[in-house]
Structures are given as structure tokens and as C-alpha cells.
């Protein structure tokens, strides 16, 4: 087995572990709370903003690569991954210190909210291995494979980032 194949195998193992552990950890948030801690109620608008910035940077990164600015593309994509990690840490911190907020809208708007929320949640799980695999392919200089996967990864990641902001805007009136 050549060196590149060994590196790819290691990345794939790590990607599989992260892709399983992160959704399980997030799911546990809904049953685990840190007792006697002040709720971190200031975090939702911050992590919603992080999602918005991620969406903008994703679009900028696509613009950069389409205009031959590979170094800028790489920096923007690395920033998107860092922002997504920051989002995840803030999301976990908030939910470990705060009760979940229920959407208070009724009628058609409630079904719209639920559709956006459910698709956001499902695709936020799907996007984890896609982002990591896409990034790994670029890191390993497998640019043709990277491009093919990025065409799938980008719209899903953009949807997750944008719907994260929409979910926040829709539920924010109901925060305690």
C-alpha cells in the first residue's frame, strides 16, 4: 500500500469516528444538563451569526476557486471548518446549560418551521462526513476527487448554514 493510500485510510477512519461521535454527542444534549449552572442564553444569536458568516464564506470560497484563487479558496474553506467547529462548541455549551425552546407559532408557519428544522437537522448530520472527506481529498491533493465531491458538499453545507440562521430567526421570539 502506498503512502497516499495509507494517509487516505487513516483519514477515512477518523472521518468515520467523527461522523458517528458528533451526532451522538449532540443527541445526548437533549438529556444531559450541567446542574446548577447559569444558562448560556447569550449564545444562540452568536452561533446563528457564525452560521451566517459560514454561508457567506462558502459562497466566497466558490467564487475564489472559480477565479483561480486557490490559496484564498483554501483559507476560506479552512475558516468555514473552524467556524463550524466554533458553532458546534457553542451549540453544545448552550444546550448543556439550557432547556430546549419550543416553537410557539401555529398554523402553516409551524409546518414550515418544522420542515426547515427537520431538513436542517438531517442534513447537518449528513454534511459532517461530506465536509471532512472533501477537505481530506484537497489536503491529499486529490483535486479531481475533491471537485466531484465538493459539487455535492457545497449546496448541502450552504443549505445547513442558511437554514441554521432561518431556524434561529423563527424561534428567537420564543426564547425565555
Q: Domain boundaries in the chain?
A: 42-174
Instruction: Please say whether the beta carbons of 35 and 168 come within 8 A.
Output: no
Q: How do residues 52-77 score in pLDDT, each as one tens digit?
A: 999 999 999 999 999 999 999 999 99
* Spatial CB neighbours of 86, under 8 Å, sequence gap ≥ 6: 47, 50
Closest listed residue to residue 100, CA positions, set 6, 7, 171: 171
Instruction: Please say whether the beta carbons of 4 and 140 come within 8 A.
Output: yes
Whether the pLDDT of residue 1 is over 70: the answer is no
CATH code of the region 42-174: 1.20.120.80
* Spatial CB neighbours of 139, under 8 Å, sequence gap ≥ 6: 11
pTM score? 0.92
Q: How do residues 98-122 score in pLDDT, each as one tens digit?
A: 888 899 999 999 999 999 999 999 9
Amino acid at each position: 500500500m502506498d503512502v497516499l493510500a495509507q494517509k487516505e485510510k487513516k483519514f477515512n477512519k477518523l472521518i468515520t469516528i467523527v461522523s458517528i461521535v458528533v451526532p451522538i454527542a449532540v443527541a445526548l444534549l437533549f438529556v444531559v444538563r450541567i446542574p446548577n449552572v447559569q444558562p448560556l442564553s447569550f449564545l444562540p444569536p452568536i452561533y446563528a451569526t457564525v452560521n451566517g458568516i459560514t454561508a457567506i464564506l462558502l459562497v466566497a470560497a466558490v467564487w475564489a476557486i472559480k477565479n483561480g484563487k486557490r490559496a484564498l479558496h483554501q483559507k476560506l474553506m479552512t475558516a468555514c471548518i473552524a467556524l463550524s467547529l466554533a458553532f458546534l462548541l457553542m451549540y453544545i455549551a448552550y444546550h448543556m446549560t439550557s432547556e430546549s425552546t419550543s416553537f410557539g407559532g401555529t398554523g402553516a408557519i409551524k409546518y414550515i418551521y418544522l420542515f426547515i428544522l427537520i431538513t436542517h437537522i438531517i442534513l447537518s448530520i449528513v454534511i459532517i462526513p461530506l465536509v471532512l472527506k472533501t477537505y481530506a481529498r484537497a489536503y491529499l491533493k486529490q483535486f479531481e476527487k475533491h471537485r466531484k465531491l465538493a459539487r455535492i458538499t457545497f449546496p448541502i453545507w450552504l443549505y445547513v448554514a442558511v437554514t441554521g440562521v432561518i431556524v434561529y430567526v423563527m424561534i428567537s421570539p420564543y426564547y425565555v
